[in-house]
A and B are shown apart, each in its own frame.
Chain A
Amino acid sequence: MKTRYSIPLAFIVLASLFGCQKKLTEDPKANLTPVNYLKTQADLDAAVASIYAKYAVDGAYAFTNKSTSYFGADDLTTDPGLNKGDMRAFDQLNGSSGNTSMQAQWNGPWTAIYQANNVITNYKQVSSTDLLKNQAVGQAYFLRAWGYYNLVRTFGQVPLIDKVISVDDRPARSSVSDVYTLIVNDLKIAKRLLPTSFPGQPGRANQLAARSMLADVYLTMAGWPLKKTDSYALAATEADSVIQSNTYSLVNDYGTVFTTNNNSESVFAIQFNVGGGSPNRTFGSSSVPLDEVASNGSSGWDDYYPEINFFLNAPKCARTDATFYTTLKLIQPDKSFKLVPWSSSETHAGHPYYKKFRAGVNDGVIETATGIQGINPSTNKTTDIIRYPLVLLDYAEASAMSSGGPSAAAYAAINKVRVRAGLPNLTPGLSATDFQKAVVNERGYEFAGEFGIRWFDIVRLQMLPEIIAARGDKENPINFTGDISQRYIAPIPQNEMYRNPSWTQNPGY
């Protein structure tokens, strides 16, 4: 009886001991690793796409109200109460390192730079043609430069990381000047490697985008804090090369710029696709007043709108009409709409709003002159980072400042923008500084509410005292009690300070 079972039993024991043994080495069959990945051109393309994708999220540049430091400017303000504390703090020049929304301005560019560094460090190992590899890495250089350009303007000194580094490395913050050196070098490389266009793929940064970006960088370097005035000339040259390429032209109707994607004046834009899980939230609900409720029940988020005096000082022109939203449509119990002016006591905020950020590509606010059918927060609208008018105005200012006064070409550049806006030509014969003032004012209204252009003008030209002086008494009061000159840069997010114990926070925070 004993032996009857012994043999099968012994077999089972042996089978269980040895039958299922596997080595203890890991084979991640479903995961891409450096062992099996970034070997082909397709791999490289996917790595480059991921740099762009990191910019196109709420936690980066898909949502104006996450760019809270820009609220220090006069083209952006928010509600005095409600849930707008993060934006309001910077509007009151009283932002802190703990500001949750502001983290997007830090996290967004860094996560993209991390991806760009991966491409720049590893692209050579890919088996493909030099042409394709150079086009890929050229975009990485462009996108890295753009990330650093935003970081250095927003936060001042940041660490310079130009390759994939070890997990335990905690580099120190580099000087602002060193950061600009990297930005300029990257853009020069991008300019050299990139083609003038990527047919059928307007979302890719091309050589002209790199030149335009470089012009803007040089213009900024001429202002605070570097004040390298010799870079005005460099800015003018770069911008002029884009103008001379005759690649871009202004869209006739200003309003159409904000309801079409990749139009004739778009030099570089972030692309979105709602269905693909990357919606743009800068357009649609975000800039719609709290008071406005559509007939389908959707309502405005009331995140951002212009300061009253900024609106009141706008030149009377078609551009202004297309920019601002001044008659609110209030739904009535019978679902009809009552039209009231922005200043009416029936409105919650008593402010004008932005019109140009409402429609998206007809997928944001769905409305007629007398009613609102729907208000959607997620749109497929691109966010233009560089529009051709920026190149024109960069050129106008830079050339005037580099040659002691505006040339005819400088006037031609700004007048192109003014004429499209529905304004007369600029008074001729202005001095260099008066001309610069005129250009900066033009930029303010041409790019009102757009991606920090106004705020960074205020920063590079140190305009806060005059901006505060022009602020109306219906705005959120400036309750910051310290040194206003410390408000041009934002604090490093507190979380990141914790992760880098050797860093010192920006003064005043």
Chain B
Amino acid sequence: MKRFLFMLLVCCITLNGYASVVHLKGYKSAFLVAQVSGKVKDDKGNPLAGVSVKVQGSTTVALTDINGVFKVQAPDGATLIFTYVGFEDQKVVLNGQTTLAITLVEKTIGLNEVVAVGYGIQQKRDVTGATSTVTAREIAKRPLVRVEQALQGTTAGVTVSSNSGQPGAGLSVKIRGANSITGSTDPLYVIDGYIGGNIESITPSDIQSLEILKDASATAIYGSRGANGVVLITTKTGKVGKPVVSINTWFSKASIPKELDLMNAYDFARTVNAQFATTGNPAAFSDADLAGFKNKPGTDWQRAVQQKPWIRNYQADVSGGSDNVNYLVSFNHLDQPGLILNQYYKRTTFRANLGIKLNDRMDVKINLTTLLPQSRNTGYQGDITDPFAQSSQWDPTSPIRDASGNYIFKSKYASNQINPVAQANNQQVDVSSTNITGTGVFTYRILNDLTLTSNNTYETQSQLTQTLYGLNTGLGLVGGDYAAVESGKYRSYQTSDFLTYKKKLGDHSLTVTALYEFSSRENTGVKAQANNLSSYALGYYNLGLGATQLTTSNYYEDALQSFMGRVNYTYKDKYLLTASVRSDGSSHLTQKYSTFPSLAVGWNAARERFIQKLDIFSDLKLRASWGKTGNQAVGAYATIPQYVSGSPAYYFDGVKPSVATPLGSPVSNTLKWETTTTTDAGLDVSFFSGRLTFTADAYHKKITNLLYNYQAPYYLGGGLYQRNIGSLDNKGIEFALGGTPLVGKVKWSTNFTISFNRNRVVDLGGLDNVVVNNIGSAQNGVAILKIGKPLGEFYGYQFLGTWKTSEAAQAAQFGMKPGDAKYTDVNGDHKYTSDDLMPIGNGSPKYSFGFINDVSYGNFTLSFMFQGTYGNQIYSGTIPYTLGGLGDARNATSTTALSIWTPTNETNNPTFSSTSQNFINSSRFVYNASYIKLKNLSLGYTIPTAVLSRVGIRSLEIYVSGQNIWTITKYPGYDPEVSNSTNAITQGLETGVIPNPKTYTVGLRATL
């Protein structure tokens, strides 16, 4: 299918790939009309095809051909306007010339550019809020799979981290620190005006620009959904001219970047024997066994569960347009197998963007996207059923299969869970969905100064999840085998209707926006599960084979109704003012409406004569803003007490089920939105005609009515319930420094961003602290919220190494012996109890940074990007299990076990002992996780046009690149960037998740 479409696109385009001149209406003039011809090139000397050449004041338009050549009829003295996407417009006044050599300069986003600001566009120089932009050109540099990757390292104040290396997994994006400890900390994505759109549906190559709105002046217009910052995504549209076909294809070889140091079979076996000896148990492995292991290393389970796949991405689009219609149609297919056996993510996306000019006053825009993702086993959570997490805990003396080729499911040593290779290969969680999103925008210029815009989006998604845990899976071995099919249907509707009034009177210019918006969502789901199937020959396709059946269904619906008004006022283009107020009414809350105001001022100082006299700045702008935004961390029906359906029945005779409907968790019916009040001051400055730019922002965000999913005491059922428990402070500064140090034959452009954020818990509703539980297997407070402390604070015992022989008497007071683990005894009672728990580290970075460079020479371009964080720690939930004696991990697998304490070698690794207390929540497992990563290194070569024009290709670039290929870090786990927790309190807690792959890529970009 995809191949067919690709061929079709190629054929269509080849037919049209030659020079053309478009004559529209005749040109009436007293002057003699002559034919003017010429050639348009870029600053590297490459001819530009498809450049529009317009005679000013007429309707005559010509386009350059594949060699950049154009011909146009124009009178002498006329002005020709050259426009081309991504380049600065250029005007040439004809003064007798009939041949022209034109060089267009590539656009950089300067203060004069137009940027999206939400419910409208604005000139960059008039923007009073703190915003950043990522352009299509920036996105094109890397083989991106997800939109969020485009934000990583490119934007000050934005921290992007991957929660897992699972294929297709989303990334966690935080704009200016965490604003919530309950709700998502991800920003609000607004796709062509559709708020909260599905970013999975956006292919990175379809993006024209990403605007990141950071302060409340920019985000308050999104009210109760704006607190985490807003990312405005504008997709590409076709430009006037003949069809242009672009092709962007790449192939990446992916692999796990690092493996843990684990013991081979011999070392493992003698370690088990040593462990058994300390507790008086007989040896597990005989001398003969040990001798046998010396000659063979045993099973490397980390390797055994891995694969090193090729990731493939195909993208093609065709775009073009006339005066009245423009279009862009794109197709993308991504095939991304996972790093673990039997794991993949595939995605096909179609997009059609159509713009129709009905008349001088009315425009219609229609964007239609179809997303078809498909995945298998991409939901591993690092728990005991996760083959990757288990691979570092499994017995290396056990082969994967027995002599007859059947899986060996269990081992007596190390992990008590199922063989991870068997688990990976025999479980199937297949998810596929169809998502269709259509946006229609009507614009009607009612009066010259007054425009009505109606932006309407309808999204529908059907999802099917088919699950099979057969007999040869962990569940199957304990009689819990099942097959299930879950189907869901989601729809969302949004209408945004706003009037924009723009008036310029002398030095005063005013823009007023008034909005009404309504959105609603609805979700229906049904799940059928069959347990203990009599045959698994049909997989999950026939649930009728189940010994018992369980069917559940669910439904929710919600709505949000909003009003918003905004005023932008500028005086002499120097003094800027923006004020807005939004009122959001939500079905989720008992008290429906909340109000979110904002106010911002700006000063274009570069326009003041006294600044201009200094002749230092090419631009200088100062900004200040204040505003309130909300976070919708209260779900539908959260204030209504409920009974739980679908929980296991009770069997009063052991056979016949009686339905059980327990009362659910208690609820608080006084919930309010979390409210973030942000104050921001910023500075935009540029020097040397924009060759050096600098932006700085300082902010203070106070989050009040902080929502927390509080765990009820067990006498209240023990479930989670939401409560507004306090307030939180975020303070930070961020800098972006950009420049073009070299512009000659070697061109070098560079961009450095760095952001510092500090947060602090200010109030917990009268409590001093709240201990956060139930993370992984460590259920006893691994994180804590404490007044005066930042989020992400780890909580546990302070590990002091081992008791030494010289401390035997002291150790005995604790009932311990030399070699046992030693911790800080805070209250001095010679016992390690909960009174000795203390903060032992923090998962939030002191600063994070990105450094991007592009160097070009001739047809070669070298790009590299470093990205990193400093000052954060990771609490590893993986490493403790490799030391054994915990949960289902019975024996140590880590090479650390080879250097445990002995009377003759008193190391700080506790010995095997039945008196030692080896706490999982201890500083022993807290590691420095600062890192610098070479996120991308890419070398591209643009084939000279002279070569290409013979085969009808406009441009062709080939490149090779590597991602995550080099990391500097002290973290001993898999990947310092990955932690499985998206929650701000538990950030930095890692529990066996798959690291980000290291990839090597080859790709090509072509236009036809």
Contact = CB atoms under 8 A, between A and B. Distances in A.
Given A26-B558, A103-B779, A167 B716 contact: yes
A110 B557 contact: no
Interface string B742-781: 0000000000000000000000000100110100010111
A204 B362 CA distance: 73
B495 interface: yes
Interface string B707-746: 0000111111110010100000000000000000000000
Contacts of B650: 49-50, 52-53, 56, 203, 271, 278
Contacts of B278: 81
A497 interface: yes
Interface stretch (A13-21, A321-329, A441-449): A13-21
Contacts of B813: 481
A301 interface: yes
Interface string A44-55: 011101101110
A2 B667 CA distance: 55
Contacts of B721: 167
A419 interface: no
B294 interface: no
Nearest to A54: B662
Nearest to B359: A1
Contact of A167 (B652, B667, B816): B667
Nearest to A262: B654
A9 B518 contact: no
B198 interface: no
Contacts of A414: none
A202 interface: yes
Interface in A118-132: 118
Nearest to B585: A24
A466 interface: no
Contacts of A85: 885-886, 918
A33 B659 contact: no
A324 B668 CA distance: 52
Interface in A12-38: 12-13, 16-17, 20-34, 37-38
A476 interface: yes
Interface string A404-435: 00000000000000000000000000000000
Contact of B556 (A28, A38, A53): A28
B553 interface: yes
B658 A272 contact: no
A24 B561 contact: yes
B592 interface: yes
B647 A349 contact: no
Contact of B642 (A1, A32, A79, A293): A32
Contacts of B586: 24
B53 interface: no
Contacts of A113: 715
A303 to B, nearest CB: 10
B691 to A, nearest CB: 47
Interface in A31-74: 31-34, 37-38, 43, 45-47, 49-50, 52-54, 56-57
A276 B548 contact: yes
B637 A32 contact: no
Contacts of B788: none
Interface residues of A, number: 121
Contacts of B488: none
Contacts of B409: 297-298
Given A38-B643, A53-B647, A85-B885, A167 B661 contact: no
A299 B278 CA distance: 24
Interface stretch (A92-100, A220-228, A385-393, A453-461): A92-100
Nearest to A28: B637
Contacts of A168: 668
A276 B716 contact: no
Given A32-B645, A115-B662, A497-B834, A261 B479 contact: no
A166 B723 CA distance: 13
B456 interface: yes
Interface string B333-369: 0000000000000000000000000110110000000
Given A31-B637, A262-B654, A498 B771 contact: yes
Contacts of B886: 83, 85
A1 B324 CA distance: 14
Contact of B648 (A53, A88, A97): A53
Nearest to B714: A110
B705 to A, nearest CB: 16
Nearest to B554: A30
Contact of B478 (A110, A376, A499): A376
Contacts of A198: 652
Contacts of A2: 359, 361-362
A377 B654 contact: no
B742 to A, nearest CB: 52
B550 interface: yes
Nearest to A110: B714
- Majority DSSP secondary structure for residues of B touching A: loop
Contacts of B713: 110, 170, 496, 499-500
A114 interface: yes
Interface string B816-846: 1000000000000011111000000000000
Contact of A509 (B493, B652, B780, B833): B833
Given A31-B640, A100-B777, A80 B645 contact: no
Contact of A378 (B479, B585, B648): B479
A477 B815 CA distance: 10
A298 B410 CA distance: 7
A345 B716 contact: no
Interface stretch (B228-236, B279-287, B296-304, B375-383): B279-287
Task: Give the one of A56, A85, A276 with max B CB within 10 A.
Answer: A276
B497 A24 contact: no
Interface string A276-295: 11110000000000110100
B887 interface: yes
B174 interface: no
A135 to B, nearest CB: 13
Contact of A161 (B276, B659, B712, B715): B715
Contacts of A231: none
Nearest to A171: B715
A479 interface: yes
B890 A83 contact: yes
Contact of B663 (A98, A118, A291): A118
Contacts of A33: 640-643
Given A24-B585, A82-B885, A203-B654, A274 B662 contact: no
A473 B228 CA distance: 61
Contacts of B887: 83
A198 B653 CA distance: 10
Contacts of A290: 412
Contacts of A46: 658-661
Given A13-B442, A50-B661, A382-B654, A496 B714 contact: yes
Interface string A77-91: 001111101001000
Task: Give the one of B550, B723, B833 with max A CB within 10 A.
Answer: B833
A379 B914 CA distance: 32
Given A202-B652, A347-B282, A348-B281, 12 more contacts: A12-B442, A28-B556, A97-B833, A107-B714, A111-B718, A114-B715, A167-B668, A201-B653, A273-B649, A277-B648, A481-B814, A495-B780
Interface of B: 275-276, 278-282, 284, 358-359, 361-362, 408-410, 412, 416, 442, 444, 452, 454, 456, 477-480, 493, 495, 497, 516, 518, 520, 531-532, 547-548, 550, 553-559, 561, 585-588, 592, 636-637, 640-645, 647-655, 657-663, 666-668, 711-718, 721, 723, 767, 770-771, 773, 777, 779-781, 813-816, 830-834, 884-891, 912, 914-915, 918-919
9 contacts: A2-B361, A22-B520, A24-B585, A81-B275, A114-B715, A167-B721, A477-B914, A481-B815, A505-B834
Give the 4 A-B CB pairs with smallest separation, nearest first: A80-B279, A110-B714, A30-B555, A50-B662
